Structures are given as structure tokens and as C-alpha cells.
């Protein structure tokens, strides 16, 4: 919507993970290196954790982009409270195996036969489990048992477990001792610091052809970092609204006052929920007096994102319609297609 106004080739702050926007902060580069190390080892488990929106999925997709499909067969599943049998069927589906009405013993045999076939072709099998904090203990145990499959001295399956911080707690459980012994590397992805936040914003803008329009005032970056807690998805949400507001106000500079105003606007759109408090919830702040628990904060933030998307769609359709009425010639020249509210 605002892309053509600022001369951009695309939307710089989209929420969907996109490897082409990968930003190599200290933490993201290290997590990326751990995954590459795991691929080099070709066995065991690699565990990557981080807050919601920290960029875990983007890192994984960046690694997958670099895989040689002639050497690695990769499959990905997203865990949604899967139990043991469901986990095995999800693994089978991910690797393209028939799983309907198949007994567990036959399913295990099919998975092992598939993995042996992959190994015989001089390839390796990689399983990526996203949202792994949702796995039940029995499901985790099934994954560990799959890692026992071998052909001679070669492990047949390697797994990446990617999840929210709760996964770290699960992994520390005494009942996870056998799985921990198979973890060859783990890393917790933290938030961006203040300087990385500015570099991240400028990186995403330059990726779509930004030429300092709109310009971000120097004092706006520290405030964006404070409000977002340095979490990339939260930075995207806030900056997307800032760009939209600048477009609607026909402005070409974003100042700290604009950041404050948008923060208040987001709070008002939530019907009084303190968006500032939600945005500033960062790792290590749980001890602050009066701070909401992480689940409450995350639920509020998800509701915030959902409402912001709906509001942006409505505003976009209205603005495009007004432009077509007030400036029909300009509207035709720009060929802007109105976004409709679902």
C-alpha cells in the first residue's frame, strides 16, 4: 500500500518469515552456524530456542535454502500437541510415506526402510520439528527412538528441534536425560540489541530499494528498540505501522514523536490493553514488579498483531478508494489495487 509512495520494490516489514530478508545479527549468525555444524555432523539433535518472533523459522529456512537436495532429504513438521503415534504419522507424511490405516509396527518399518533407501543413495535424511515445545513426552521419546535407526555405523536420521523457551525447560526434565545425550548442539536466540535493531530496520528497508524515504530520525531507533524489546517480529509490526502512518500523513520523515503516537494508537486499538507493556516484555524482565506472566503477554501480543492486520486492510482499502476518487488520473498511473477486508 505505501510501497509505491516511498518508491519501494516490496513490503519491507512483512510478518511472514522470508529467508531473503535474513539479517545476520550476532545471535542469528551463531544460531545459523550451529545448524550448519549439525548438518556437518549428520547425526543427533540440534536444539534452537527463542521467543515468539525472534527469527527462528527464518534461520531454518535460510539453512534449507542452502541445502543440496542431491545430498540431503529434508522434511519439516509443525508440532501441535502431537502424541507418540501422531508424531510417527506426521513424520511419515513429511517424507511422503503412506500412513493411513497403517499399524504402528508397519509404520516404523516403512520409515526405517525409507531412511535406509535414502542412505543407500548416498544421501542423508533431515527432520525439522518446529514449535517443538508442544510435543508430549511420548512424542519426544518416539523421535529419540527414530534417531536409533542406523545402517552400519551411519545414523539414518538427524533432527532439528526448534521451539519457544519452554522447550529448554522440557529438555532439562530428568525424563529427557536420554534425549539430552543425543543433543550435539543447542542455542537460545535472544533479542537484538539497540544497534542491531537500527541495522535490522535499515537492512530490511534497503532490501526493497529504500533511498532514505522515509528518513528515520536518529532518536526514533532507540525508542523502537525499547518498545519492541528487540524482537524482530515486533519490530516489523511497529515499523510497518510507522510506514503506514507516514504514508497516510504524506510525510517523509519518521521521528520519535511518531513512534510514541503509534504506540498509543496501538494501545487504543486493543481497547485499552497496554501495548507499550506488551511490547516491552523482553527476556529477563519477568522479575519486574507488576509484570504480566509470559503467556498473558504473548496472548495479548498475538491479539494485537491480528487486530493490526485487520485495521491495516481496512485503512488500505479506504485510502485507495479515496485516492481513486480524489485523484483518478494519479490512481490509474500508479495502478494501485485496493486491498479488500475479508
DSSP line for 157-221: EEEEEEE-THHHHHHTSGGGHHHHTTEEEEEEE----HHHHHHHHHHHHHHTT--SSSEEPTTHH
Nearest CA among 205, 190, 46 for reference residue 132: 46
E strand or H helix that includes residue 36: helix 26-41
Identify the pLDDT of residue 275: 47
Asked if 115 contacts 157 with a C-beta cutoff of 8 angstroms, the reply is: yes
**What domains lie within the chain, and their CATH numbers?**
26-189 (3.40.50.300), 194-334 (no CATH)
Q: What is the pLDDT of residues 111-164, one digit of tens each?
A: 999 999 999 999 999 999 999 898 888 888 888 889 889 888 888 999 999 999
Residues in the chain where the model's pLDDT stays below 50? 273-278, 280-295, 297, 330-342
Identify the pLDDT of residue 103: 87
Identify the pLDDT of residue 87: 86
Phi first, then psi, for residue 159 (nearest 5°) are -130, 140
Residue with cell 542452502: 66
Identify the pLDDT of residue 224: 94
Three-state DSSP at 71 gives coil
Three-state DSSP at 329 gives helix
Report pTM.
Answer: 0.74
Q: What is the pLDDT of residues 192-206, one digit of tens each?
A: 999 999 999 999 999
CA dihedral 181, 190, 80, 37 (to 10 degrees): -40
Identify the pLDDT of residue 338: 40
Identify the pLDDT of residue 307: 58
Nearest CA among 73, 14, 88, 8 for reference residue 42: 73
Cis peptide preceding 3, ω within 30 of 0: no
Distance CA 83, CA 7 (A): 49
Identify the pLDDT of residue 292: 44
Amino acid at each position: 500500500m505505501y510501497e509505491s509512495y516511498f518508491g519501494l520494490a516490496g513490503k519491507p516489514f512483512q510478518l511472514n518469515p522470508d529467508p531473503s530478508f535474513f539479517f545476520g545479527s550476532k545471535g542469528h549468525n551463531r544460531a545459523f552456524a550451529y545448524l550448519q555444524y549439525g548438518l556437518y555432523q549428520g547425526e543427533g539433535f540440534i536444539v534452537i530456542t527463542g521467543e515468539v518472533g525472534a527469527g527462528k523459522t527464518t534461520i531454518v529456512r535460510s539453512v534449507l535454502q542452502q541445502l543440496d537436495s542431491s545430498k540431503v532429504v529434508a522434511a519439516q513438521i509443525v508440532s501441535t500437541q502431537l502424541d507418540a503415534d501422531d508424531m510417527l504419522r506426521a513424520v511419515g507424511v513429511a517424507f511422503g510415506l503412506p500412513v493411513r490405516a497403517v499399524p504402528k509396527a508397519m509404520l516404523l518399518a516403512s520409515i526405517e526402510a525409507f531412511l535406509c533407501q535414502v542412505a543407500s543413495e548416498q544421501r542423508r535424511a533431515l527432520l525439522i520439528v518446529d514449535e517443538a515445545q508442544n510435543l508430549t513426552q511420548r512424542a519426544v521419546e518416539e523421535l529419540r527412538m527414530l534417531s536409533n535407526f542406523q545402517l552400519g555405523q551411519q545414523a539414518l536420521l538427524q533432527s532439528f528441534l526448534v521451539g519457544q523457551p519452554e522447550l529448554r525447560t522440557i529438555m532439562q526434565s530428568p525424563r529427557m536425560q536420554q534425549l539430552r545425550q543425543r543433543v550435539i548442539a543447542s542455542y537460545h536466540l535472544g533479542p537484538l540489541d539497540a544497534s542491531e535493531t537500527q541495522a535490522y530496520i535499515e537492512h530490511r528497508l534497503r532490501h526493497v530499494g529504500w533511498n532514505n524515504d522515509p528518513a528515520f530520525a536518529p532518536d526514533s531507533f532507540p525508542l523502537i528498540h525499547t518498545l519492541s524489546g528487540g524482537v524482530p517480529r515486533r519490530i516489523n509490526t511497529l515499523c510497518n505501522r510507522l510506514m503506514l502512518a507516514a504514508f497516510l500523513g504524506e510525510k517523509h520523515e519518521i521521528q520519535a514523536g511518531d513512534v510514541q503516537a503509534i504506540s498509543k494508537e496501538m494501545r487504543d486499538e486493543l481497547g485499552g490493553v497496554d501495548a507499550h507493556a506488551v511490547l516491552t516484555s523482553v527476556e529477563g524482565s519477568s522479575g519486574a514488579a507488576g509484570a504480566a506472566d509470559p503467556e498473558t503477554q504473548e496472548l495479548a501480543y498475538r491479539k494485537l498483531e491480528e487486530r493490526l492486520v485487520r485495521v491495516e486492510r481496512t485503512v488500505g482499502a479506504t485510502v485507495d478508494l479515496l485516492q481513486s476518487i480524489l485523484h483518478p488520473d494519479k490512481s490509474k498511473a500508479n495502478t494501485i489495487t485496493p486491498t479488500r477486508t475479508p
